[in-house]
Homo-oligomer: A and B are copies of this chain.
Amino acid sequence: METYLIFRDLAIILIAAKCFGILARALKAPQVVGEIIAGLVIGPCMLGLVNQSDFIVQMAEIGVVMLMFNAGLGTDLKELLKTGPVALIIACAGVFVPLVLGTLLYMGFYGAAAVGSEHFVRALFIGTIMTATSVSITVAALKELGYLKGRVGTTIVSAAIIDDVIGIIVLTFVIGMKSSDSNPASVILKTAAFFVITIIGGVIIYKLFALLDKKYPHTQRIPILSFGVCLIFSYLAERYFGIADITGAYVAGLVLCNLHDSDYIEKKIDISSYMFFAPIFFVGIGLKTTLNDLNGEILLFSIAFVLVALFAKIIGCGIVSRLSGFSIPDSLKIGIGMMTRGEVALVVAQKGLTAGLVEPIYFTSVILLIIVSSIATPILLKLLYAKYPERIAAAQK
C-alpha cells in the first residue's frame, strides 16, 4: 500500500518527458520523439530509474484513449465521409502489402513452405503482426504540426481505424488456421454489430448531449460526462466486440464532434492529457524496452523485419493514395503516417504467442519496430510538411 512510491516514478517521468521534449524541439524534432527517448533513457535500457508498473501501464492507456478521443472530437465529419471510400482502399492496401511482404520475409529467413503447413501459418503470422497500424503517434505529431484536421490527416486517421478492423479480421483468420477456438464469421458479425450499435447509440447520446449542452453550456459536467462516454465506448469495444479500445475512443469522439461545446471538451481533455497522461504514454513506450535477449541472428532478422514493415506500409498506402488522386508528397505523408506501430502490434504478437504461432524472442523485433517507427514518423512528417505544406489545413491552423 506504499502509494507514495508512484509519486517518485511520476515525478521522474513528467520532468524527464518535459525536458527531453523541450530538447527535441530545440533540435527541430517533434516533442513526442523527445518523450519516447526520455523513456529509453530513464528506463531499464539505460539508467534504470523507473520500471514499468501496472500503474504506468494503466495511466498510459488512459493517455492513448484521450489522444484518440480528442482526435475524434476534432474531426470534420463531412471531410471524414468524403475521405471514407479512399481511406477504405488505403487501409486494405496497408494491410495486404505488409501481410504478403512479412510472410515472404519469414520464408526468406527460414525457408519457403507449402500453403496450409504449420511453417506457412507461422510465416503468415509474422505478416499479420506487421499489419496493425497504431495511429496515436501520428495523431500527436500531426496535432503538434497543426495539420490533424486537413485532408491528409483525416484520411490517415480514418484509414487507420478501418485498418484496425481489417487487422482484427485477418488475425482471427490466421489464428483460426491453427486453432479452432476462433471463429472468423463471428468476428465479422461482432464487428458489424459494433458499428450498428454505435450508430444507433451514438445518435441517442448525441441528442442527449446536445440538449445538455444547450441548457448548461461551458459547464464542468459537459467534458466530464463526455469523457465518461468515451471510457464506456472504449470499454465496450474491447470487452464485447474484440475491437481496440482506442477505436472505441475515436468513435466516441466522432459521436460528439458536432456538439457546440466540442472545442470546450477538447480543451479540457487536452490539458489533462498533456499534463499527465500523454507524457506517461510516450515515456511508457521507451520504458517497455529491454534489449537483453538480443543476439546476432535475431538482430539481423529484427532489422529486416523493421525495414520491411515500414516500407510495406509506405508502398502499400502510398501507391494507393497516389492512384486515388493525392499528390506525390501527400501520398508519401499518408504512407509514412500509416507506418507507425504501437501497442496493437504487441497485442497481436501476444495472441500469437498464446496460440503457439510465434516465439517470445520475436517480441524484440516488434518493440524495435514500435520504437523506430515512433521516432521516425514524427520526424519525417515534420520534414515533409515543412517542404510541402498542406494548403487547406494551413488555412485552418
Q: Tell me whether A57 is interfacial, beta carbon within 8 Å.
A: yes
Contact pick for A234, options B7, B54, B279, CB 8 Å: B7
Residue of A22, A58, A221 with highest tally of chain B CB at under 10 A: A58
Whether the Cβ atoms of A58 and B57 lie closer than 8 Å is no
Contact pick for A275, options B3, B7, B227, B229, CB 8 Å: B227
Question: With A and B bound together, what is the CA distance between A234 and B2 in angstroms?
Answer: 12
Which residue on chain B has the smallest CB distance to residue A272? Answer: B272
For A228, list chain B residues within 8 Å (CB).
11, 14-15, 18
Whether the Cβ atoms of B221 and A14 lie closer than 8 Å is no
Contact pick for A231, options B8, B234, B271, B272, CB 8 Å: B8
User: Digit string of A1-25 for contact with B (CB within 8 Å is 1, else 0)?
Assistant: 1011111101100110010001000
Whether the Cβ atoms of B225 and A4 lie closer than 8 Å is no
Question: With A and B bound together, what is the CA distance between A288 and B229 in angstroms?
Answer: 25
| Chain A stretch 320-339: residues in CB contact (< 8 A) with chain B | none
| Chain A stretch 230-252: residues in CB contact (< 8 A) with chain B | 231-232, 234-235, 238-239, 245
Question: With A and B bound together, what is the CA distance between A395 and B287 in angstroms?
Answer: 50
Q: Tell me whether A61 is interfacial, beta carbon within 8 Å.
A: yes
| Chain A stretch 26-73: residues in CB contact (< 8 A) with chain B | 54-55, 57-58, 61-62, 65
For A245, list chain B residues within 8 Å (CB).
3-4, 7
Nearest-Cβ distance from residue A215 to partner chain B, whole angstroms: 12
Q: Tell me whether A268 is interfacial, beta carbon within 8 Å.
A: yes
Nearest-Cβ distance from residue A220 to partner chain B, whole angstroms: 6
Whether the Cβ atoms of B55 and A54 lie closer than 8 Å is yes
Copies assembled: 2
| Chain A stretch 255-288: residues in CB contact (< 8 A) with chain B | 268-269, 271-272, 274-276, 279
Q: Tell me whether A224 is interfacial, beta carbon within 8 Å.
A: yes
Q: Tell me whether A202 is interfacial, beta carbon within 8 Å.
A: no
For A57, list chain B residues within 8 Å (CB).
1, 3
Question: With A and B bound together, what is the CA distance between A245 and B275 in angstroms?
Answer: 20
Question: With A and B bound together, what is the CA distance between A22 and B212 in angstroms?
Answer: 13
Contact pick for A221, options B7, B18, B269, CB 8 Å: B18
Nearest-Cβ distance from residue A14 to partner chain B, whole angstroms: 5
Whether the Cβ atoms of B275 and A15 lie closer than 8 Å is no
Q: Tell me whether A98 is interfacial, beta carbon within 8 Å.
A: no
Q: Tell me whether A167 is interfacial, beta carbon within 8 Å.
A: no
Whether the Cβ atoms of B272 and A6 lie closer than 8 Å is no
Which residue on chain B has the smallest CB distance to residue A232? Answer: B11
For A220, list chain B residues within 8 Å (CB).
18, 274-275
Question: With A and B bound together, what is the CA distance between A309 and B232 in angstroms?
Answer: 41
Question: With A and B bound together, what is the CA distance between A276 and B229 in angstroms?
Answer: 14
Residue of A61, A235, A276 with highest tally of chain B CB at under 10 A: A235
Whether the Cβ atoms of A61 and B3 lie closer than 8 Å is yes
Residue of A18, A234, A271, A274 with highest tally of chain B CB at under 10 A: A271
Whether the Cβ atoms of A238 and B61 lie closer than 8 Å is no
For A234, list chain B residues within 8 Å (CB).
4, 7
Q: Tell me whether A223 is interfacial, beta carbon within 8 Å.
A: yes
Q: Which 6 A-B pairs have the closest CB atoms?
A: A11-B231, A7-B235, A4-B238, A15-B228, A272-B272, A7-B231
21 residue pairs from A and B, CB less than 8 Å apart: A1-B57, A3-B57, A3-B58, A3-B245, A4-B235, A4-B238, A4-B245, A5-B235, A5-B239, A6-B58, A6-B62, A14-B225, A14-B227, A15-B225, A18-B220, A54-B55, A55-B55, A224-B274, A268-B271, A269-B275, A272-B276
